[in-house]
Structure 1
Amino acid sequence: MPRLREVPRAEVTDEKIPFFYDRLFGPDKDPAVDHGTIHATPGDWWTVFAQSPDVFRHAVRGFSLYRNVTLDPLLRELGQARAGYARGSQFVFSQHCKQMRTLGAPDEKIAAPPHWQVSDCFSALERAVLAYTDGLVYDGGRVPNEVFAVLKAHLTDPEILQLTYITTLYDMHATICRALRLEFDDRPELIAEVEIPPESRSATFRSICPENDTSLRYRSPLLTWVALPRTARRPCTRRTSRASSGLPRRCALRAGRGRPPRAGARLRGRVRSRTT
């Protein structure tokens, strides 16, 4: 279920929205209740975007951009599919894999965008388009000159602009679908804490490494660090008594919080190393 309310047919006030409801769902269906488009998708993208007719119209105008661009449709779909995969949108990736198939792309090429770096089924230009898409989505527009040079060698400036605009447009759509859990992106969060079995919950980090364990020692060629109980800790000093530390004089560096000294820390005076 999407995170925003779906707008039923009876509540639609904008004349543009019923046109798409009829075209995608059928004139006798209420898309907010009877889900399923003619393209075998749930269709809640349309019913959620109907919350704002202005946003709905703006998004639909973006779809019509396809009709007038001079960019090769297969290059366009490669960028869109890779953008969906890179952004983690099942919906955007799946839909544009289908579009690639409609354009006649072989199944091997349709399956390859997730691992395009090691696939040999793409031309030099197609690989540059996929690398460019990664720069747009993964790196926020940070694209190496070498990648852009390949695009410049094969595409006109208007075509590069079209590729850039359409790819980033679908990066946005992929982000929206994930955030609002629309269409095939209505999935539970995959990253979560893995629960500890009840029989193992008593074995906490504190019980494994108790705070007052004095057996842990850090040794280096110059310094010896001793983990002392909290009640016995004092500020760092070069000289300590035998009674308080149990170590020979002039050879103990006691850390104020029981931590090993930082690498490269400067010490005043000489400290004899403890090797036993």
Structure 2
Amino acid sequence: METRVNLSKSDPTAYTALLAMNEAASAAADAAGIDPKLRELLKIRASQLNGCSYCLRMHTRDALKLGESTDRLSVVAAWADSEYFSAVERAALALCESITLVSVDHVPRGVYTMASAVLTNEQISAVSWLSAAINMFNRIAITSRYPVKP
């Protein structure tokens, strides 16, 4: 694997600001009642879409520590075709996917309507901020080529 500038270390002020934003997003998720396991599923799904092996490994481990099942983890990439996820989880996953792929579909009305049917405004905001944060972390890890060794 090639060596690249480690963005989290090359500009610690910017990275510290991202960490603070992530903490604020997590606090908002707590206040909005977003289950910690769902937060990890959102991070996993965005990381799958972005191809971030570093974040995938980290958040899969975190989800397992929280008690997430291996069955749900194994199908989160195909959540829409399974019956493992509740309406709230499905809405949050759809919103997270759409935010992650914003250049493809610009968070279409249908996704937002589905989310607003089952999520409160606070939950939509929290899912959106969590999605923005993991997407930033994915981009930093991928660009920096964080090593992922067994």
TM range (shorter): 0.7 to 0.9
Instruction: Say if 1:63 and 1:138 are closer, same or farther in 2 by CA, change over 3 A.
Output: closer
CA RMSD of aligned residues (A): 2.2
Whose RCO is larger (CA < 8 A, sep 6+)?
Answer: 2
Task: Tell me the equivalent position of 2:121.
Answer: 157
| 1:12-31 paired onto structure 2 within 5 Å | none
Match of 1:54 among 13, 31, 34: 13
The answer to whether the 8 A contact 2:87-2:118 is kept is no
Whole-Å Cα distance in 2 between the matches of residues 156 and 128 of structure 1?
A: 11
Which whole-Å deviations, capped at 9, do the CAs of 1:75-109 have from their partners, x for residues lacking one?
Answer: 22221111000001011122112222222221101
Whole-Å Cα distance in 2 between the matches of residues 142 and 4 of structure 1?
A: 31
Question: For structure 1, which runs of at least 5 residues remain unmatched after alignment?
Answer: 6-47, 187-276
Match of 2:141 among 158, 166, 177: 177
Whether 1:88 and 2:89 are equivalent positions in the alignment is no
Question: 1:68 Cα shift?
Answer: 4.9
Task: Tell me the equivalent position of 2:92.
Answer: 129
Whole-Å Cα distance in 2 between the matches of residues 120 and 106 of structure 1?
A: 14
Whole-Å Cα distance in 2 between the matches of residues 139 and 56 of structure 1?
A: 23
Match of 2:41 among 70, 74, 78: 78
Structure 1 runs of 4+ aligned residues shifted over 3 Å read none
Question: For structure 2, which runs of at least 5 residues remain unmatched after alignment?
Answer: none
Q: Percent identity?
A: 24
Which whole-Å deviations, capped at 9, do the CAs of 1:102-150 have from their partners, x for residues lacking one?
Answer: 2222110111122223222111221222222221112436223332223
TM-score normalized by the length of structure 1: 0.47
Bigger Rg, structure 1 or 2: 1
More helix by share: 2
The answer to whether the 8 A contact 1:4-1:180 is kept is yes
The answer to whether the 8 A contact 2:44-2:55 is kept is yes
